[in-house]
Structure 1
Amino acid sequence: MKFAICLVSALLLAFCAIAVAGGPGMMSYQGELRDASDNPVPDGSYNVIFSIYGQSSGGTALWAETTSVTVADGVFSKTLGSSHALTYLLFEDISTYLGIKVGTNSEMTPRTRLVSVPYAVQSNRADTASVSLSGPVGNGGWTDNGSTVSLTTATDRVLINSTATTGKLVVNSTGNAIVGECTAMMGASVYGKAYGGFGQGLRGYATGASGNGVFGIADSGATIGVYGLAKEISNGKGVYGLSEGAGDGVYGESQGTGGRGVVAYASGTGMGLVATSEQSIGVFATSNKPSDGMGIFGMASGSHPTGIKGYSSGSYATGVHGEAASRYGVGIYGQAVSQDGIGVLGQADSADCVGVKGSTSGLRGKGLCGISTGPSGFGIYGENSYNNSVAIKGVATNATAGTGVRGEGASYGMYAKATYSSGIGLYAEGGTSGKAAKFIGNVVLYGITSGEIVMELGEGLDYAEAFDISEGIDIAPGTVVAIDPENPGKLTSCKQAYDKRVAGIIAGAQGLASGVRLGTGKYDKDVALAGRVYCQVEALDQNIEPGDLLTTSATPGYAMKASDHEKAQGAILGKAMEPLAKGQKGMILVLVTLQ
């Protein structure tokens, strides 16, 4: 069936009122439906598609709505926009046309041009509205080109609940003045950009207690609450905070696991975070977490970067200052997780400067503490490249129990190395009545070229040197040895009485170690040449008393009392320090005094 339509009335709402004042976005339409013979169609329900176009023919519909109309005596009424709201943007163009399609028939021609009712025309002036959606160009107000809403003149300002005399956009609110939300990847909810010198892309100012000038929240992983980027070659600042009272210039707070209150990142030769203080503290960070909290966390992932760098140009000033007020707290903590990384690096470029300085005034406190948990790592590493400079220096002002430098480690408690040919790896100077160094435990000295032990200072009582033994390593501690004439440079166990080739006693008997050991580890055995050592002794025909001179015995590896003083010349091993009864053999303590 062919249809024709006769327009009875079409009432267009004032769409500028819809947009500005929150109108319903609908339009009332009434028409009469006739067949091809110009007779009213039978009563009933008919499916109709209403479309709005910007052209009288052709083109793509700007708006469309499929609905059902009820016809009585050929007449129907319908409110358009009830399921698909109309907007004022459809009527910005002065030429707008309505197309109607009934059932499976083609859209009727010609299309009906839509016009405004008288009061809708008056609303276009908006002479009493607080904001005009469209104002004549050159007369101020807003313009909307369909994709961008903007002010028409450079001098225009926007004030919301404010009487401020400065600022392009001023919002006065008891809650959140401006809230930006962004769901796009890498997007910005609020974006500010400054082109001129000393310009500020985004500035927030808080005058009340606990107020926040700029406040950002990151609710999910890899998001950033406040992000600042400076592309200027010099003096640019990504995020700049100014505190004129007791407030915080930049304040960051992290409440989630692995979160960071303030993150600074430098991708070039610049610095991620720069803080300057003329009279106070550039950056102050505090952590209230009971354990593992960090006030400032700096990470460097590139080649030769710096996670945190502090610069001091004033007298007695501090580039980076860390303070620990609780037990086991750490003022400054640096961790290096990659090869050749540095947890905390301090550099002193002028006289009397200190690269890293630690101070403690508490009991068992540590001014500077370094911990190394990885292989070949250094808890504290100091390096100097200038003559007479010091890589690591410790000063203790406590007269009784202070320690200038103390190192603890599973491998090396402290490691010192001088790279200059005449440099000194570790230099220690004691007071007029003090000590240059104090060691608890053995001290080992290694050769520069061989890398082998050349001396060891331990808890023992004798002075020993290492020798190769003709019998090998099977010879027992406490054995008396002599020079082996058949193997130059080697020793052998003594096998004759009053042997003028006597050299000493194999050290280590009865678990008594040597106090000084030379060449240990390089040769077969350590031989005691002086001091106290346990020795194999026999009393043949008389008692041995403390103080008796001892010489070699005919029993291999044993000593005996020197009864014949003429034969004993040049064959004295030492003096007995313990008695041994006649007819007995055993280990007694001997004072080695070769004569």
Structure 2
Amino acid sequence: MNTRSKIMFSALTLSLAVGVLIDITRSHAVGEPGAAPAPAPAPQVTTPAAVEDVRAAIELQNAANNPPTVAPVAEVEPPAQLPPAGQAPLVDDEQIRLGAASSNEDQVATNQSVSVDSDGPRNVMALEVDADGAEPRAPILASRRLSYQAVLTDNMGNALPGPTVNLTFNIYTAAAILVEGPINVLAVPINDGVVDTSFPVSASSFDGGDRLLGIAVNGGAELTPRVPLQTVPYALRVDRVASEELDDAITLGRGAAPLTPGTLSIQNGAMAQPSIQLLGNASQISTYGADGLEQIRLWGAAYGEILLRDSSITNDETVVLSATSNAGGQLTLRNSDASLTGILLEGDDAGTNDGGTLTINQADGTIGLLIDADATNANGGADVEVRAGDGSISVFLDGDSGGAGLINVRDSAGSNRISLDGDANSASGGAVATFLQADGSTGVTIDGDASNADTGGSISVHDAVSLTRVVIAGQSTGTGGEISVFDDDGTETIELLGAESTTEGGQIFVRNAAGTATIDLDGDSGDAAFVGLRNTAGSNRITLDGDSAGAGYIALYQNDGSTGVAIDGDGGTNIGGLVSVYDSVSAVRVQFDGESVGTGGEIRVFDDNGTETVEILGAETTDTGGQVLIRDAAGNAEITLDGEFGSVGDPGRITTPVLQITGGSDLSEDFDVTGDATPGMVVCIDKDNPGKLIASETAYDHKVAGIVSGAGGVRTGLLMGQKREPGQDHLLVNGRIAVALTGRVYCYVDATQAEVSPGDLLTTSDTPGHAMKVLDHARAQGAIIGKAMTSLPRGEKGLVLVLVNMQ
């Protein structure tokens, strides 16, 4: 034996044996792929003439440059021989070891095995794992499981401890392409380093090409090199009955005296009865099933016939193909109990050389479908009858009704409900489909050529009394189609024209009860679309024009016909849309302009003299904010609301000669307040938080700043404050609480020390957030809040209306 290839793996030494058992469903010799069937007296497993032990070495070397060590391996027992042909088979799962021994001490034994059942040799195939570099032989059939045995040691030669190890297998092509895996076999028992297991493989992994097996232990790297898989040859021998050479022509029976009918029987070998029988006296060939009952009969003593029987106990005839003695051919298909005919196919139903028929029956034998190739037996065309459960005709197809085809669909009472006639007018006209109502009156008529003059088809929809209510015509004005809808008295109220005239587009008219068109939708009015909405007299009151000087245009008219509102998609030449609203004499009073100064929008309002008195600009100039101008009767701007006054980015401004505020009574400014900030509370400058206020707590406090606005139902009249912008907190001018600096507000007052009367000066008190009457005028200088405008009795606390006037 040549030296086995070495497989390197850290800290492990591995010896292995691999085998596989595969069932084969057909008997043939198994060896090299493509082997031809080999005749033999009986199936048997054979082995090569020479059987030898095979010992292979797999060395695993430590990755840290440790010298490789190999565990001693026991000698492999010589393989048992398979029994010669004709002897009893091996017992179930008895292993046959094939291979050759080697004296190389750093090698361990490999083996492969074939399993044979105790009840006789099965058709099996073995795969051999051989690491000697020999070219592997691919299996012929799909495998089931691959057996695997190995001795596992560490790099010191010690058996790998147990109780279990995990193994991973992969199957590759010769080009190292993975075809199956990873196949994980977990918790494999190990005893003194010995493992014995198997793993499943798929039939699709073995297609006749070379295969290599990769192995990994306990999740480690795969061992190298991979191991080739090889087939182990064996043969099957199948008994055959020797046959004598036959003549080219064989005659059974005697045609001369004494006359003897010929008979040929072919036995099935399992029972004392034939499986095929040829009877000369009955002109018959019969085949028989495993139960001994006839299954197929081909005979022809009088006329040809083929019988097919089912597998029931009564051996019923279910298919009969018969020549029927001069009456044409016939095929009969019976149902499952053979008592009723399911399908009957006749080549000449009357036996008078007329047309054929096909009859398909229902479960109870009633005719379900009847096809007659010549219903009148006089070349009158074919008929098809589709019948209901009671056998009555529900659908009737006539191939020649006045020379044209006809289909009638009937209701449960046998009355026609749908009729399709290939030429209803019998004048080579168009086809007509008629749909009838429950009382038999016409519901819908579809005519392929309504006038029989190639003028197109039409569809008519009728009401309950068969009056036409909708007509769809294939050709109307200008060869275009038309749809007409009628009201209950027959007046046409909707008309859809595919072409207004020969050279124009489509048009839709919607009419009132008197037939006057009140809506006109024109697809081609000067090559553009037009919609007109009319009054009862037929005069336009709203028009939509798809092309008015190149732009879309909508006009709404007043009662006298003058324009009330005009919407122009382009008020000039590419300057945006324009909406104009007119007065009773058609003078413009309001305009909405889509593009004015700086490409911004504009709204203009005019007085009765036509003077523009209100102008709203979307942009004062290019890239600037909006502006509202309110002018006097002479057109002079008196009030200006400018969204961006001055340069780009500057704040907005309102300019007006007089500003009257009616929403509140004080002038307030927004502050941030430390702690509570209840409306009516007196607040002072918070010395600990620059820019913030805090509720007053000390009498005659010179840091007093004002009163929180909003108490007593009196709202803030004018509120000042700088908008809080990101990054401006350092300015200390932000705030959310309105604090009254002047004007009238209600204020919390403490009258514990003195009654408060109108006109009294008020200052801070020791009560948080409360004012009090000034009793020490010298101390009050610089701490006066304002003057009381209402009174508060001594000893009470409450709200007092105060005229704020900080002093």
TM-score bin (small chain): 0.3 to 0.5
Q: TM-score, normalised by structure 2?
A: 0.32
Greater C-alpha Rg: 2
Question: Relative to total residues, which structure has the larger strand share, 1 or 2?
Answer: 2
Q: TM-score, normalised by structure 1?
A: 0.41
